[in-house]
Amino acid sequence: GDPDELLAVAMRDTGERLRVHRAFFCEVDTADDARAHVLPDWHRSGDGLAGTYTLASFGSDDCWQAAASGVVAIDDVWRHPWT
């Protein structure tokens, strides 16, 4: 099938299953410009996030350093300083 359609279905199903407001994938480029390229997202209301952003828009330097070193798990998104 169409990769864009597959991504759209995956985002919708993930968002609905997790009962979140928004679900998206992004491609992270840490090489030169440290940017996150957000692919078309699924969202319950409001505007989509698709576009290119700085990594700082999605987390602090220590967050990205942890992500680069391996798996990151956040136990409580309400209390964790990165969320």
What global pTM score does this model have?
0.69
Q: Say yes or no to pLDDT of 1 above 80.
A: no
**Segment 6-22 mean pLDDT:** 92
Strand ordering across the sheet containing 51-54: 26-29, 35-38, 51-54
Q: What percent of the chain has pLDDT over 90?
A: 34
**Segment 71-83 mean pLDDT:** 83
CA distance 43 to 12: 8
Q: What percent of the chain has pLDDT over 70?
A: 99
**Segment 47-69 mean pLDDT:** 85
pLDDT value of residue 73: 82
Residue with tokens 């390229």: 37
